[in-house]
Amino acid sequence: MGKTAFIFAGQGAQAIGMGKELCENFKVADDCFNEATEALGIDMKKLVWESDEETLKITENTQPAILTMSVAALRVLEEKGIKADCVAGLSLGEYSAHVAAGSIEFSDAVRLVRKRGKYMQEEVPIGEGAMAAILGMAEDGVLEVCKKASEFGICEPANFNCPGQIVVAGETKAVEKACEIAKEMGAKRAMPLPVSAPFHCSMLKGAGEKLAAELKNVTFLDMKIPLLTNVTADYVNDKAEIADILEKQVSSGVKWQKIVERMLADGVDTFIEVGPGKALSGFVKKIDKTVKILNVEDMASLENTLKELSI
């Protein structure tokens, strides 16, 4: 029997109205939004369903919104009896994975990611940091691009998503230069990403330190499902490591491709992207075309997933 992995998206997957259908059809999903509202003192349904793209794009709103929607979808899957053999999430998605693994209570996670978003945003004033995706270039090529661009400021690899897609982050001028250099060196495309801060690079170290103070107030629980972390692309073996890993995660590169490769090596043949968007499904497909890739974000995708798993 092959194994099933649940994977959870990070920032950028948000959309106005996400989760509404699931909440209208499943009490467990609706309860999830209500729990987030209670934990944060912000009307989560109003924020996610009735605000606008700009408001939802503010990092301290985006992070709890995506987490809430992802966990709402997760609860529906759990109610249907679908279980994961392992879990992982890209960047912010790692918190959804911890909720799935049972290592962090949802109410703690939603409070944490709101603070995480706030600290990440405050660390680098808007306009001073940027991120860009470099497409069609091997890892060593991108590392060379970062080295050359570093003459103009901080520029570091931030996300290793899949073969031929690596994201860089750093100071705006250096990241703009990196795009030019990458194109000169033969990248297919190099494009700035619509984010408000340079995530997963050393410019965010201070944000990680502030988050560490918040993590001290959280009780971590034993993991019921194995979880792989962005920082090492390996399993988290002990709940005592979680706080340290989540602090580092803010300013470390995301080793997504290696996480997927490790899951494949460990026998995963079905990936279910739980929550908004299908970005991770695309990455998995580029890493291995033979595996089954499903997602759950609304009624249609849920029904398709249940049908595919013949439940």
Note the helical H segments in 186-271: 205-215, 242-249, 256-265
First-last CA distance in the chain: 16
282-289 CB contacts, 8 Å cutoff, 24+ apart: 282/162, 283/161, 283/162, 283/165, 283/256, 283/257, 284/7, 284/162, 284/260, 286/162, 286/163, 286/164, 286/165, 287/162, 287/163, 287/257, 287/260, 287/261, 288/260, 288/264
- Residue 159: in which H helix or E strand, if any? strand 155-162
Measured CA to CA, the distance from residue 142 to residue 134 in angstroms comes to 8
By annotation, the residues acting in catalysis are 91, 200
